[in-house]
Chain A
């Protein structure tokens, strides 16, 4: 063993900045597939970002930077985007990268069976201009298209065809489900789903190597206490996430470091805007108090967000006032105040709305989806009870949660939203637009919130090229959502990673762990 490491060092010492090392890390969930187009979820895309690459990628500060494309520019007056591809890039198996792979990957990723299909909804046509130039034509001007495809990963057409994996297969799986062949800095050398995935550096990678890893191993560990024990005992070098309550203990331990940041995810309360009556009320079963904006305002004032952040989140989260966090593109700076904690005002608002004695209702909550979700809901239940509205809390695992929400079995619910595009337009499209199956709008707007002006603004925001005008429209929408209390945004979910103290890495707000930024000292 020692000898092989030595031999390896001798051969690659020039390319590596510091002494080379092996690296092991643990996450709660294993990426369920190695196919970059099959599942659009953080564990999958985050992991595969180390293996596959897109035309563009996000840097350490989330800004969009060149990857497989070196340059891109709008075509004409918003008719589309032209991408110039990087030359001399090779896949892990040695194949050359060119425009055919881009066209192939577009077709693959926009197929009906692909989970990444919605990214290409604005695209009308993709044209290969030459081997290293591709045009993406859009049906309407689309200023954010390049940044919206930062997670769209390019697969080698030859490899996919040779292995019968030209389309993602969610149902039966195929070669690409357990094997990977990208252009990224790391290649998958061993994969045991649910147990262990092993990565090695890709020698022919086009970029500058910043890391010093010779081998990296990902092991999923589900039980948070076990993962923490693994980090403390040195069995792993990095865990994500660290349970919030253990931050203080880790900070006091000289052998480990805690890296904290703010995730893109906003945690909020949702209401049944459309319902005629409450479902879980002992005495108010004939009407829906939450249809009254004053009741929703009362809820916003009754929840003591600072106390939740102080106690449940241990001072590791920031309050939220809108559906996106300040780190996102299109955040409305002028609307950063969230309703103050004011139980008296909440009671007054309830009385004004005709509920001086309050009412009872049912609060639904997941218990394994967001950080401390169940504890937060419990705390909210207590706070609402203190202004007279008593919730029956029903917390359940997420696999039961979404079906419940879809069946409208709630009077109030907890939701977290992380905009995949890192843009304020994203939550408007999914959470605030009137649900419309045909136009694919409002698909997560369970409560059926509907506002004509918001619906009118959304397409205008989507196609506006002028940044200032666009921001003005986003501000207007955010103001409407605040005034109407469409949702009660609570806080931005914190991001807490733990490492051994000899590890240096960079944390990105999308919770992607990028291996090429890791240094083992």
Chain B
């Protein structure tokens, strides 16, 4: 058991190192930050001097090593664009993304499970069929288009909800800011959360439905029914409970996907989170920010992966880890 955990942790660290290497090697092709940092009246001399100052004239392995050295100590350097510590910027932006991810995750889980159970119980009903088909519309259009259509409908035409940003935020503690406590903050959350959570909602709904169908035909459910238990009790108490293991796994893995896909939602809604920060960093070739973001995402994904694997072994030692993280 312990050996397994140690082995998996070791592998995870290796994975992180590789991710770092791949991410870092990509930056050489993203563009040249120098042009963005100097105005149009710069001379070739200025360009060379700044390049040397930033260490961009060093050979690639040297740059990677310097990056790793800093990253291990939690120091990702200074943003080319903002001239501030990257870790400080990330901390400042993280609450926005986490709150958005949290709300869309909760929405996706709650609505997804509800609709999943419903469509499984009424598997041949017309409503269930309509829900099943309609849920596919959400995954048959690109996210950015859904976001823009929502803005067009609810902000421009109806004027109900704000078109961008986080609304007013309230600071809690040293660095956390929340939009939950103000009305404009809560309103601003609605459209981005729907846009971001739609895909996961469909996913969870379909997963719950197929798991439920599977469970509902098991013998013990039939016995429960035969014993005269109420339909509701059977459905929720017995059936749904037993579908939860795979559902929880997928939700865990999808958490990372939500944060990654926030890139697009945040761009469309000008949501001030880490995804928008990353897109801005790409446009500016802000290498320290890009590197830190990718490492952060990797740590999160690998961490979740590791946790799920270990939990699996705890829950059912017979299971040699085999799960699907994909879209089912």
Contact = CB atoms under 8 A, between A and B. Distances in A.
B165 interface: yes
Contacts of B237: none
Interface in A91-119: 112, 115-119
A14 to B, nearest CB: 31
Nearest to B83: A173
Interface in A200-245: 219-223, 225-227, 229-230, 232-235
A217 B182 CA distance: 19
A27 to B, nearest CB: 12
A232 B83 contact: no
Given A221-B164, A235-B162, A444-B40, A171 B78 contact: yes
Interface string A453-482: 000000000000000000000000000000
Contacts of A193: 82, 84, 89
Contact of A170 (B83, B277, B282): B83
B92 interface: yes
Interface in A395-425: 397-400, 402-403, 417-418, 420
Contacts of B148: 225-226
A403 B285 CA distance: 12
A61 B41 CA distance: 24
A443 B44 contact: yes
Query: Chain A: interface residue count, which band?
Result: 35 or more
Interface in B20-79: 30-33, 35-46, 49-50, 53-54, 78-79
A420 B41 contact: yes
A229 B164 CA distance: 8
A115 B38 contact: yes
B270 A219 contact: yes
A230 B156 CA distance: 8
A229 B152 contact: yes
Contacts of A420: 40-41
Nearest to A403: B32
Contacts of B84: 173, 177-178, 193
Nearest to A115: B39
Contacts of B50: 170-171
Contacts of A219: 164-165, 270
B284 interface: yes
Given A41-B39, A399-B32, A233 B267 contact: no
A230 B82 contact: no
Contact of A195 (B30, B35, B272, B282): B272
A179 to B, nearest CB: 12
Contact of A443 (B42, B268, B269): B42
A115 B155 contact: no
Contact of B43 (A195, A399, A417, A437): A437
Given A221-B270, A223-B267, A229-B155, A172 B83 contact: yes
A417 B40 CA distance: 9
Nearest to B159: A233
A222 B49 contact: no
Interface stretch (A32-40, A268-276, A487-495): A32-40
Contact of A437 (B45, B54, B151): B45
A241 to B, nearest CB: 16
Contacts of A232: 155-156
A118 B43 contact: yes
B151 A229 contact: yes
A368 interface: yes
A234 B44 CA distance: 45
Nearest to B53: A171
Contact of A112 (B41, B49, B54, B272): B49
B39 A235 contact: no
A194 interface: yes
Given A115-B39, A430-B40, A229 B83 contact: no
A440 interface: yes
A32 B276 CA distance: 15
A437 B44 contact: yes
B106 to A, nearest CB: 25
A450 interface: no
Interface string A363-388: 00000100000000000000000000
B269 to A, nearest CB: 7
A32 B82 contact: yes
B163 interface: yes
Task: Report, as a range, how many residues of chain B touch the other chain.
Answer: 35 or more
B283 interface: yes
B32 A402 contact: yes
B43 A226 contact: no
A33 B31 contact: no
Nearest to B151: A229
Contacts of B79: 173
Interface in B268-306: 268-270, 272, 276-277, 279-280, 282-285
A226 B36 contact: no
B83 A399 contact: no
B35 A40 contact: no
B81 interface: yes
A3 to B, nearest CB: 18
B155 A177 contact: no
Contact of B82 (A40, A177, A225): A177
Interface in A29-52: 32-33, 38-41
A427 to B, nearest CB: 11
A169 interface: yes
Contact of A399 (B31, B44, B270): B31
A129 B226 CA distance: 104
A233 B92 CA distance: 28
B27 to A, nearest CB: 11
Interface string A169-205: 1111110011000000000000011110000000000
A403 B83 contact: no
Contacts of A221: 164, 270
A371 B268 CA distance: 19
A457 B269 CA distance: 52
A195 B271 CA distance: 9
- Most chain-A CB neighbours within 10 Å: which of B40, B46, B89, B268? B40
A222 B32 CA distance: 21
Contacts of B41: 40, 115-116, 118-119, 420, 430
A12 B220 CA distance: 78
Contacts of A230: 155, 163-164
A32, A118, A174, A177 — most chain B CB neighbours (10 Å): A32
A72 to B, nearest CB: 22
B280 A194 contact: yes
B302 to A, nearest CB: 28
A233 B163 contact: yes
Contacts of A397: 31, 283
Interface of A: 32-33, 38-41, 112, 115-119, 169-174, 177-178, 192-195, 219-223, 225-227, 229-230, 232-235, 368, 397-400, 402-403, 417-418, 420, 430, 437, 440, 443-444
9 contacts: A32-B83, A119-B41, A170-B50, A173-B83, A399-B30, A400-B31, A402-B32, A403-B32, A430-B41
- What are the nearest 10 A-B pairs in CB distance? A173-B83, A40-B39, A399-B31, A229-B163, A177-B83, A118-B41, A402-B35, A403-B32, A233-B155, A400-B31
Given A178-B84, A222-B267, A402-B32, 14 more contacts: A32-B83, A39-B37, A40-B41, A115-B39, A118-B43, A173-B78, A177-B83, A222-B270, A222-B276, A235-B162, A235-B165, A403-B35, A430-B40, A440-B43
